[in-house]
Amino acid sequence: MEKPIKLAEAAEYYSLLPHQTEAWTYLEDNTRREVLSEFAKLYRKDTAETEETASFRSPSTGHMSEAGISLVKYFEGCELETYLCSSGIPTLGYGSTGPNIQMGMKITQEKAEQMLLDDLRVFEDAIKDLINARLQQSHFDALVSWAMNVGVGAVSESTLRRRINKGEAVLTVIQQELPRWNKGPNGPLPGLIKRRKAEVRLAETGRFG
């Protein structure tokens, strides 16, 4: 009697050969429906968990993911001509400021995208320098967005930083501390409340929108 084949080995072997469809069709036709149904449940569950892990449970790359960049773009907005922000500072593109930004300047969309990436590098580096804990990608994205909004100095002096560096659970600290950063000179601002909620959700799920 021939030795029974192991399905895992068959899948690996036949995936490299043109008759793989024939092999899997035979398996499907000769397997009870209830077994196939159970297999489908397990397969879909494992696949979903794998995709979830890949998207936001993986270690930080040290750069914002597309989800993180999308969040920043949404809340910063893009202006191709210099304007004064609520603090009276000349601002351009996706919230870019600094001594090189002057009133009357105009840029292209392409330039605004590059300026955003350049700005993000500053805050990505700040989070890597100031936070000692190992971060998941979703945690890193949320913290960079927050840093870009409040500034490197505020991050450095924050309770959030101290708590994470002392070894507290990163996600718990983010959930508890980020919502506190929602105030302007005259109290809580709806835009900041919304942004903090979005950053917490990004940290929790790896998704924005």
Q: Determine which one of 9, 76, 110, 204 is catalytic.
A: 76
Place of tokens 């907005």: 77
Residues 160/195/77/138 CA torsion (nearest 10 deg):
60
Of 12, 38, 51, 85, catalytic: 85
Please, are residues 200 and 179 in contact by the beta-carbon 8 Å criterion?
A: yes
Strands 183-184 and 79-84: unpaired
85 is catalytic: yes
Q: Yes or no: say if 125 and 140 are a contact pair by the CB < 8 Å rule.
A: no
**Helix intervals (H) in the chain:** 7-14, 20-29, 33-52, 66-76, 109-130, 137-150, 152-157, 159-165, 170-177, 190-205
Query: CA 191, 192, 193, 196: dihedral to nearest 10 degrees?
Result: 130
Active site residues: 76, 85
